[in-house]
Amino acid sequence: MGVRSAVCRGAARRAAVGLLAVSSFRESLERASLPLLNRLSRLPRAVPFLIVLALLVGGILIPGWGWLLTTVVALFLLWMLLLGWPRLTAVERLMRVAVVFMAVAIAVSQAVPRT
Q: Per-residue pLDDT tens for 37-63?
A: 999 999 999 999 999 999 999 998 998
Q: How far is CA 78 from CA 5, 19, 64, in A?
A: 25, 25, 23
Task: Indicate whether 27 and 59 sit together in one domain.
Answer: no
Among 112, 77, 114, 83, residue whose Cα is nearest residue 98:
77
Domain interval for residue 109: 44-115
Q: What is the pTM of this model?
A: 0.75
Packing angle of the helix pair 66-84, 46-61 (nearest 10 deg) = 140
Task: Indicate whether 32 and 50 sit together in one domain.
Answer: no
User: pLDDT tens digits for 72-101?
Assistant: 999 999 999 999 999 999 999 999 999 999
Task: Indicate whether 27 and 60 sit together in one domain.
Answer: no
Task: Indicate whether 20 and 49 sit together in one domain.
Answer: no
Q: What is the pLDDT of residue 24?
A: 86
Task: Indicate whether 50 and 20 sit together in one domain.
Answer: no
